[in-house]
Amino acid sequence: MIRFFVLSLFPQIFEPATNFSILKRAQDRNLIKIFPINIRDFAKGKHKITDLPPYGGGAGMVLKPEPIFCAVEHILNKYKINKKNLEIVLLSAAGKLFDQKLAYNLVLKKNIILICGHYEGVDERVAKNLATQEISVGNYVVSGGEYPALILIDAVTRLAANVLKNQESLKTESFQNQENLVEYPQFTRPKTYKNHKVPNTLLSGNHKQIEEWRTKKSAEKTKINRPDILF
């Protein structure tokens, strides 16, 4: 089982978002557990302040380090987590770009703590002195780390043993083949729709030709849409 502990100012996002499809089935079968945890619960003082203006000036507010450190310590103690089976991930636009290789590395861990930033960012001491790695889901900025955390949870869960009914499907997906290509184009019935036809090769029944066609189309689509991943 993989346990995901998600530290967020908005933990209510996670239950509805993970309560269907593959993530729900994985939870029902005890293959994964998701624990949304409110950072504010670990803030000190009457007003439970979690963010303050940045030192040196600038726009926005920065999440304080203390509540996040305290939340992580609470998780480690409550669930008696061995750090050898632990990854602490800070979701951040400044982090390493998330990809399938990183997902495969994370699926080997039994416990993953995800720290969701918000506002202008998170105190750098969280990245440097607490998180084991800092991850970005893309070259863009979103309002907080909650949706990137959901992307990571979904990507890692799909790779966990026994989650997908057909494990063979993983072998043909984008970024999973040896050539690191995106997946080939897929078609299903009807054969013709609005004068757009399914390629004849896919209807031929010749498995060798179909495989060659798929390899060729994967390379073509990768070159057009994702030239950045070509070697």
> pLDDT (tens digit, 9 = 90+) per residue, 40-62?
999 999 999 999 999 999 889 99
Alpha carbons 134 and 114: distance in angstroms, whole number: 10
According to the model, what pLDDT value does residue 178 have?
57
> pLDDT (tens digit, 9 = 90+) per residue, 151-196?
999 999 999 988 986 555 555 555 555 578 999 999 999 999 999 9
Alpha carbons 225 and 223: distance in angstroms, whole number: 6
According to the model, what pLDDT value does residue 23 have?
96
pTM here?
Answer: 0.89
The neighbour count for residue 217, using CB atoms within 10 Å, is 17
Q: How many helices (H) and strands (E) does the chain have?
A: 9, 10
According to the model, what pLDDT value does residue 188 have?
95
Which residue carries 């636009």 as its tokens?
Answer: 93
* 113 in Cβ contact with 79 (< 8 Å): no
Alpha carbons 231 and 226: distance in angstroms, whole number: 11
Mean pLDDT rounded to a whole number for the chain: 93
What percentage of the chain reaches a pLDDT higher than 70? 93
The answer to whether residue 226 scores a pLDDT higher than 60 is yes
Burial letters 87-126, b for 16+ CB under 10 A, else e: bbbbbbbebeebeeebbeebbebebbbbbbbbbebbbeeb
Domains of the chain and CATH, by start: 2-159 (3.40.1280.10), 169-229 (1.10.1270.20)
Alpha carbons 91 and 126: distance in angstroms, whole number: 11
Q: From residue 183, how far is each of 31, 104, 142, 213 by CA, in Å?
A: 27, 18, 27, 12
Spacing of C-alpha 181 from chain mean position: 20
Sequence-ordered strand ranges (E) for 182-224: 192-193, 196-197
Task: Tell me if residue 32 falls in helix, strand or coil.
Answer: strand
